[in-house]
Amino acid sequence: MAERLPLTLRTYRRLTSAASPLAPMLLARRLKRGKEHPHRLAERRGEASLPRQEGALIWAHGASVGEMLSLLPLVELLHGRGFQMLLTSGTVTSARLAESRLAPGIIHQFAPVDVPHYIARFLDHWRPDLAIFAESDLWPNLIMSCGERGLPLILVNGRLSERSYARWRYAPATIHALLAHFDLCLMQSAKDAERYSELGAPRVSLTGNLKLDVPAPPVVEARLAELKTALGDRPVIAAASTHPGEEAMVIDAHRRLRRDFPRLMTILAPRHPDRGAGVMDIAKVAGLNAVLRSPGWLPNSDTDIYVFDTIGELGLVYSLAPIVFMGGSLVRHGGQNPIEAAKLGATILHGPHVWNFREIYAALDNAKGAALVFDVNRLAARIGQWLTEPAARKAVAEQALATVGHLGGALNRTVAALEPYLMQLRLEHRQE
């Protein structure tokens, strides 16, 4: 257990404990906004909906879809070695992803809200033998409770943005006390490792980015064939995981491109599918015919914008569109993961704001496996170039696939770093 907690963390714990009667109201409000699962709200209060089986149990936590995707290969590998696996997350979309992607026998639960007695209830039931957190989801009560119970805590695929690093430097005692609870921090990049070491993490290793080892997203062949039949030989482009402000830019680019490519169709897949109706409204205001995918509608010859407001179908998007703009990059969000698109052969465009995946985009750009655009003018121009020069577009896609393959290996390095803990779990439970 770490030394005496600094005043900031003691105050945080007292305040969250005192405010715990308000937590149900917060959850109810989130439920009305569609941010909580209506039938699994008790899990957010630490109340398990499934029993805990006997034997060694490893708990893996990823905040949302991106973190969960990075954890899936590791979770499945450990499950295949005979460990019970509990995977937690905090969003409805990640829970839906778990339903469709988790292998039988792997348990998914919602993570408890960061209230001390909710966390105690969760830990009392599941009694994990090892906890693995992904990336940068550092909830103070959760971390402190694990540390106080002597639960080995490991950070995998760790990262720390420049902005977060600058903020934590103003509270050195607080972040040092939190990181002291981690037995091991496995980082995505040398810069991330340097930042964690400077902030006080006791053991830091560089293992690389687990997202580079995530397999290409699944594609239901029957759905792909159905869409290809509906589209025929029309030229198709896509914008994936877009954020507010970007859809209007993509729609503007579509209108410009339509002068030279009158049969063009653009697929728009907003990062948050519940924004689909709003995206369709933007297209209609621009005078374009738009169709939502979620009701089961297919595009026809008059469809200009096809809005993928569904979950778990990005594999279809990347398989249908040879040119894909990755969202969160023309607005100041930090970018979205381009790896899955590259693995399915898409040619990638992105804006300048990609700090969440800085190293990956830098490697792609340096290898000429992606193209950087700064505004809608250059977005439309580059798409137009690739639509008229398929050989050049194909060369970029091939470079992207080769680059992603070269950067892989983080999964093997992560498992190697975990081996001493896995061996200890086997020994402990063999003696029971």
- For residue 60, the domain's CATH number is 3.40.50.11720
What CATH code is carried by the domain that includes residue 291? 3.40.50.2000
Between CA 421 and CA 327 the distance in angstroms is 38
On whether the CB atoms of residues 313 and 270 are closer than 8 A, the answer is no
The whole-number average pLDDT for the span 64-69 is: 89
Task: Specify the residue for token string 């728009």.
Answer: 268
On whether the CB atoms of residues 159 and 62 are closer than 8 A, the answer is no
Query: Residue 241 corresponds to which tokens in the numbers above?
Result: 């995981």
Residue 431 has pLDDT above 70, yes or no: no
108 and 237 co-located in one domain? no
Residue 397 has pLDDT above 50, yes or no: yes
Query: pLDDT tens, 50-63?
Result: 999 888 999 999 99
392 and 422 co-located in one domain? no
161 and 274 co-located in one domain? no
Q: Which residues contact 5 (CB under 8 A, 6 or more apart)?
A: 13, 144, 177
Residue 216 in domain:
no
Residue 406 has pLDDT above 60, yes or no: yes
Strand pairing partners for 199? Answer: none
Degrees to nearest 5, angle at CA 221 with 85 and 215: 40
pLDDT at 312: 84
Residue 93 has pLDDT above 90, yes or no: no
pLDDT at 432: 57
Question: Which residues carry out catalysis?
Answer: 67
86 and 141 co-located in one domain? yes
Rg for the chain, CA atoms, rounded: 23
182 and 285 co-located in one domain? no
pLDDT category at 2 given cuts 50, 70, 90 is: very low
Residue 214 in domain:
no
Residue 188 in domain:
yes
101 and 175 co-located in one domain? yes
DSSP states along 48-104: -SSPPPSS-EEEEE-SSHHHHHHHHHHHHHHHHTT-EEEEEES-HHHHHHHHHHPPT
pLDDT category at 3 given cuts 50, 70, 90 is: low
The full length of the chain comes to 432
Query: Residue 302 corresponds to which tokens in the numbers above?
Result: 């008059």
Query: pLDDT tens, 194-250?
Result: 999 999 999 999 999 998 998 888 899 999 999 999 999 999 999 999 999 999 999
Domain holding 65, by residue range, is 7-208+409-430
pLDDT at 326: 97
400 and 422 co-located in one domain? no
How far is CA 411 from each of CA 60, 206, 207, 233, 407, rounded to the nearest angstrom? 15, 12, 8, 39, 11
Looking at the chain, the whole-number percentage of residues with pLDDT higher than 70 is: 99
Query: pLDDT tens, 143-177?
Result: 999 999 999 999 999 999 888 999 999 999 999 99
Instruction: Pick 132 or 162 by higher pLDDT.
Output: 132
- Pick from 203, 53, 66, 78: nearest CA to 137: 66
Query: pLDDT tens, 278-317?
Result: 999 999 999 999 999 999 999 999 999 999 999 889 999 9
Between CA 374 and CA 74 the distance in angstroms is 36
229 and 370 co-located in one domain? yes
